[in-house]
Amino acid sequence: MNAQPKARPHANGDGVGAQLAHDLRQWAHEQRFALWTTFGFVVINVCWWLAYAVRHRTLPYASMDTTLGAFDIAHLMPSLILTRGVFQLIVEALLILCMLCIAEPMMGVWRTVGSALASAAIGVVLGLLLCAGFNTLLQDKAIIYHVSFTLSPLVLVVGALFASTAFAYQQWRRRIRLIGYTAILVVLLYGGNPGDYCMLVAAVAGQLIGRAMAGPPIEDDAWHWQYSSSAEVRRVLGSIGIVLALGPIVAATSRSHAGPLTGLAWVLSPASVNTGKLASCMHGHITNGCFEQYELMRASMTGDLIRSVLPLLVMVALAWGVYLGRRTAAVCSIVFYIASAVITVCYYVVMPSVAANAAMPFSGRALETCLINTLVPLIYAIVLIIELPAFSIRTKERPLRIGLFVLAATFVVCAAIYLVFGLVRGDDFMPRPGLRVLLAELSGRFLPVGFLTNTRLAFVPDTPLASFVYQGVGVMFWIVFVVVAFAWLNATIDYDRKAHARAEELVEHGGESMSFMATWEGNEYWLSGTKRSAVAYRVLNHIALTTTGPFGDPEEWMSDLDEFARFCRDHSWSPVFYAVHEPARDHLAKLGWHSIMVGDEMVIDPQSWKTTGKKWQDVRTAINKAKREGITDEMGTYEDAPADVQEQIQEISDQWSQGKALPEMKFTLGGVEELKDPRVQVLYAIDGDGVVQAVTSWLPTWHNGRVIGWTLDFMRYRIGSYNGIMEFLIARMAQRMHDWGVEHPDEQIRFISLSAAPLTGLHSASDAKPDDTSNIDGTVMLQHSLALVADLLEPVYGFKSLYNFKKKFQPSEHPVYICYPDSALLANLGIAIVRAYLPTLTFRGALGMLSSFKPKKSDDKQSDKKKSTTNTSDARKTDAQPAKPDKEPDADTAPKDAPTQHAQE
C-alpha cells in the first residue's frame, strides 16, 4: 500500500466548504494514478479523432478488427486503447476510473500497474484460445473463426480490479467479484465476442495474481452473523436473475451475435426481410437462407418485439424480489423458469411432431439453441428450489390468489381469441393454417422472439386484423404479467398492531431519554424472543432505520442490537441504529460496525438546578420579564387543557409551519399530533388575558413503571411574544422538577433532556475523523458533507442556533451516534434519513426552499428579526447583546433567544 498523505490541520475558522474541498483534493491525491490514466485515455482518443478530422479522413475502424481465422495482432492491439465513438469513450472512461479508484488505494500504484498488465497479457492469449476451443466443442468453429472482433480497453484494467479484492475485506471482496463476474458473463453469454473471453480470463488471472501478492486472507473476526449465508444466497441468485433478464438486451446490441445464449441477435439487425424469398421458403420452393428470413420477419413485427421486451420486465421484477428475499418472488421465479424450459422443449420437440408439414422445421443450430435455452432456466429454477428456505419474507395471500387467477384467465382468453380467429378467418393468413398448425404455433405467440431462433415460420398474417391478433395476444398476456409481478413485489405484510400495542407497554417498563419517540406513528416494531424488549424502526430505501435504541428490559438491550440486525439481514434490509448513545455504539464497534456522531444531547440535573452566577444572566432576565408581564406557566396534558388553549396551541404551530420553506419535519421531531398523547406533558406560558405566548412538550422516560425523566420535544412561540419566553418555560420546567424532588424524595426526576439539534454533531467540521485506520469508506468526507448541509439548512431550521440556545442552561453533553455495518450504505443512508425527516417533501417544495439558502445582508438583520416567524437568526446574536440581571433589554431590539424549531433530533 502507498503511504497515505497526512491530513492538513485545519484552522478553527475554516468553513466546511473549504474543508470539503480539501477532502476532495486529498481524495484526488490518493487516486492520482487512476485520474491521470483515465485522463490520458480520453486525451489519446480525442487527439486520434481530431487528427483524422483535420485531414478530412475517415477513421480506420476496419483496421481495428480481426478474426480468429485470419488473426492479426497488429489490428487487434490498437483496440485496447482506441474507441469507436463518444458513447463508448464515456462509458469505458468511467469504468476505467471506477476500477482503478478501487484498486489503487488497496494495492498502491506499482502493484496496480503490474497486476493490470500481467493479467491483460494472460487474458488476451488464453482468452482467444478458450474461445476457439469452446466453440469447436459446440461445432461452431466455422462461424466463430469468421466473426470480426476487437478487444475492450477494460481488458487492461479489469485484472487490477480483481487483484485488489485479495486486499479487501471479505464483504467488499465478495461484492466486487460478484458484480464483476456477473457483468462479464452477461456480455460473454449473450454477446459472444472473442474479446469477451479475454475479459473473463484477465479477471480470473488478476484474482490469482492478487492472491499471490496478498497471501491468504486473515479475517478471524470478519466472518460472523453479519455475513449470513442466506443473505449471500439471495444476493447471488438475485444477481443471476438480473443476468438472465438483461442478457437478451446485450444479445440484441452485440456486433458478434456468437454468444451461447444469443437469442435476440436479429432484433436490431440492419438487414431486412426479402418478401419474395420468404414466400418461396414458406411454400418449400427453396431452403437456402430461409431461417435468416424467418428470424428477420419475426424481428420486423412490432408486436413480437414488444412481446420480447415485456418478459424482461417480469424477470427483472422477480430477480429484484429474489435479491430482497421475497419468498413469493422465488416461487414465481421457479414456476416462470420451469415453464420457460417446458415451453421451449414443447416448441422445438413436441409441437412440430403434431404439425401437418413438419419437414425441416429447424436449422442446423436449432438443437443447440433448444438445449441452451432449456438448461439455463431449468438449472436456475432447480437452484432456487434447493435454496428456497433462504427466502423467508412472505407476502399477502389475497394478492397472490388474485394475481394467479388473473394470469390464468388472461392466458385462456388470449389463447382462445387466437385459435378461434385462426379457424374462422384462416384466409387472413398465408398459407391458411389448420387446427394442428395453430396449436403448434400457440406457444410461439407467447414466447419471446429469442426462443424462436432457428425455427421456421408455419404461416404469417396477411391482413391488418390478422396481424393485430397474431401479435397482440402475446403482448396483452405479458402486459398483464408485468402488472401482476410488480403488484406481488409491492404486496407488503400487514402492519402488526399487536407488536405496536406491546411496544406501548414496553416503553413504560424501561427506556432511554428518547425512547418514547418509538411510539409515534410510522414505526414498525421488532420484539425480542422473550417479548420483554423491542426496537422501533422504519424501512426506507431497504434500510431499517431505528428510532433510537432498544427499549423495555435494559438487560436485553445489548443482545437486542445483535438480534435485530439478524432480523434485518433475514429480510434483506440493512440495519442502521439512529441516535444511539455510547454503550450501544461501543458494543456495535466490537462487531466491526462504523459510527458517526450526529449530535450532543443536552441533559440537565434538576436536583442541582440553580440560576445564580453570571452564566445564568439571560435565564434570570427571562424569568423576571415574565413576572412583570403577568405571564405564568401551566403544566398538564393536552386533553386536560381548556379548549381555547388547545386552539391557541394549534394556531401557534400553524404560524410556525407557514413561515417555513420546508414542510414540518417528522421521524424524531414531534408536532401537535404527538403532544396530544395523554402521557406527554405540555408546559405553556399564558398571560393575564388568557393568550398563550409559547408552548413546549415533554416526553416521559420510565424505569420499572416510574417516570424518571422528561425530554423536550415540541417548542414554539407566538409571533410578537416577548424575548426570552422559551428560556422562561425551560427554566420553569427545571424548577418544577427540582421542587417535585424536594417534596417527593422517593420519586425524584433524574434528568431533564433538552434533546439534540440535528446535524450539530461536529462542533467544527475539522473535528471529523474516520472511525477506523483508513478513509476508504469516506466517513470523513461524509461528515464534512453533513456539516455543509447543516450550514445550508441553517437559515431554514436553525440547527446551530438551537444548539447554542440550549448551551445557556449549562447542561451536560452526551453524544449520540448513527451506527451502520457497511460503509457502502452511506449514500443510501443519507437519502433514507432525509425521507424519514421529510416524508412529504416534493420536488417543488425543495425548489421553493432554495430561496432560504441565501445569506441575509447585515443591514437587514434588524428588520428580519421583526418579520421572521422563527427565531433562528436571533439566537445567533444572543451573546452580542447581553442583558443585565436587573434591567430588561428593549423589546424591539433585543433578540428572542430560542429557535422555534423542534427540539429533538
Asked if 45 contacts 53 with a C-beta cutoff of 8 angstroms, the reply is: no
User: Pick from 181, 170, 177, 269: which is nearest to 226 by CA?
Assistant: 170
In this structure, the answer to whether residues 709 and 749 fall within a common structural domain is yes
Strands 533-540 and 524-527: antiparallel
For residue 448, being part of any structural domain is answered with yes
Asked if 655 contacts 719 with a C-beta cutoff of 8 angstroms, the reply is: yes
pLDDT digits (tens, 9 = 90+) for 701-738: 999 889 999 999 888 888 888 888 999 999 999 999 99
In this structure, the answer to whether residues 400 and 476 fall within a common structural domain is yes
Number of H helices, E strands in the chain: 32, 14
In this structure, the answer to whether residues 64 and 129 fall within a common structural domain is yes
pLDDT digits (tens, 9 = 90+) for 552-607: 999 999 999 999 998 888 777 889 999 899 999 999 988 888 888 877 888 999 98
Strands 751-755 and 706-717: parallel
Rounded distance between C-alpha atoms, residue 413 and residue 350, angstroms: 23
- Give the residue ranges of the chain where pLDDT is below 50: 1-13, 220-228, 257, 263-274, 355-360, 363-364, 454, 494, 762-770, 772-777, 852-905
Which of 198, 216, 234 is at the close of a domain?
216
In this structure, the answer to whether residues 719 and 838 fall within a common structural domain is yes
In this structure, the answer to whether residues 574 and 622 fall within a common structural domain is no
Rounded distance between C-alpha atoms, residue 813 and residue 854, angstroms: 31
pLDDT digits (tens, 9 = 90+) for 438-471: 887 787 777 766 555 545 666 778 788 888 888 8
Which grid cell is 799? 440547527
Rounded distance between C-alpha atoms, residue 233 and residue 758, angstroms: 38
In this structure, the answer to whether residues 616 and 751 fall within a common structural domain is yes
Maximal CA-CA distance, the chain: 113
Give the per-residue pLDDT at 710.
94
Give the per-residue pLDDT at 857.
43
For residue 235, being part of any structural domain is answered with no
Q: Which residue has the cell 404527538?
A: 674
Asked if 530 contacts 554 with a C-beta cutoff of 8 angstroms, the reply is: no
484 C-beta neighbours (distance < 10 Å), count: 22
- Cα–Cα separations (whole angstroms), residue 603 to 20, 480, 674, 685: 31, 58, 22, 22
Rounded distance between C-alpha atoms, residue 456 and residue 132, angstroms: 29
110 C-beta neighbours (distance < 10 Å), count: 10
Give the per-residue pLDDT at 875.
33
Q: Does residue 162 sit in helix, strand or coil?
A: helix
In this structure, the answer to whether residues 163 and 50 fall within a common structural domain is yes
Asked if 762 contacts 780 with a C-beta cutoff of 8 angstroms, the reply is: no
In this structure, the answer to whether residues 314 and 388 fall within a common structural domain is yes
For residue 896, being part of any structural domain is answered with no
User: Pick from 448, 414, 735, 435: which is nearest to 605 by CA?
Assistant: 735
Q: Quote the domain boundaries for residue 478.
A: 275-489
User: Does residue 431 have a cis bond before it (omega within 30 degrees)?
Assistant: yes
For residue 688, being part of any structural domain is answered with yes
Which grid cell is 106? 488497496
In this structure, the answer to whether residues 451 and 325 fall within a common structural domain is yes
Q: Which amino acid is residue 586, in one-letter code?
A: D
Rounded distance between C-alpha atoms, residue 791 and residue 872, angstroms: 12
Rounded distance between C-alpha atoms, residue 72 and residue 325, angstroms: 49
Complete DSSP assignment for 390-408: G--B---HHHHHHHHHHHH
Asked if 147 contacts 194 with a C-beta cutoff of 8 angstroms, the reply is: yes
Dihedral (CA of 40, 41, 46, 52) sign: positive
For residue 573, being part of any structural domain is answered with yes
For residue 667, being part of any structural domain is answered with yes
Which grid cell is 376? 439455463
Asked if 753 contacts 711 with a C-beta cutoff of 8 angstroms, the reply is: yes
Give the per-residue pLDDT at 289.
53
Which grid cell is 561? 442490537
Which of 454, 471, 489 is at the close of a domain?
489
Q: Which residue has the cell 441575509?
A: 856
In this structure, the answer to whether residues 456 and 436 fall within a common structural domain is yes
User: Pick from 308, 328, 327, 321: which is nearest to 267 by CA?
Assistant: 308
Q: What total number of domains does the chain contain?
A: 4
- Cα–Cα separations (whole angstroms), residue 801 to 679, 793, 806, 872: 29, 11, 9, 6
Q: Which residue has the cell 467488499?
A: 172
For residue 268, being part of any structural domain is answered with no
Give the per-residue pLDDT at 267.
36
Which grid cell is 184? 462479464
Q: Residue 812 pairs with which residues in a beta bridge?
A: 603
Q: Does residue 695 sit in helix, strand or coil?
A: strand
Give the per-residue pLDDT at 358.
42
Which grid cell is 313? 420486465
- Cα–Cα separations (whole angstroms), residue 272 to 37, 256, 269: 43, 18, 8
Rounded distance between C-alpha atoms, residue 185 and residue 130, angstroms: 14
Judged on CB neighbours under 10 Å (0-12, 13-18, 19+), 222 is middle
Which of 216, 240, 265 is at the close of a domain?
216
In this structure, the answer to whether residues 427 and 444 fall within a common structural domain is yes
Give the per-residue pLDDT at 536.
93
For residue 10, being part of any structural domain is answered with no
In this structure, the answer to whether residues 721 and 805 fall within a common structural domain is yes
Asked if 474 contacts 298 with a C-beta cutoff of 8 angstroms, the reply is: no
Contacts of 94 (CB under 8 A, 6+ apart): none
Asked if 549 contacts 537 with a C-beta cutoff of 8 angstroms, the reply is: no
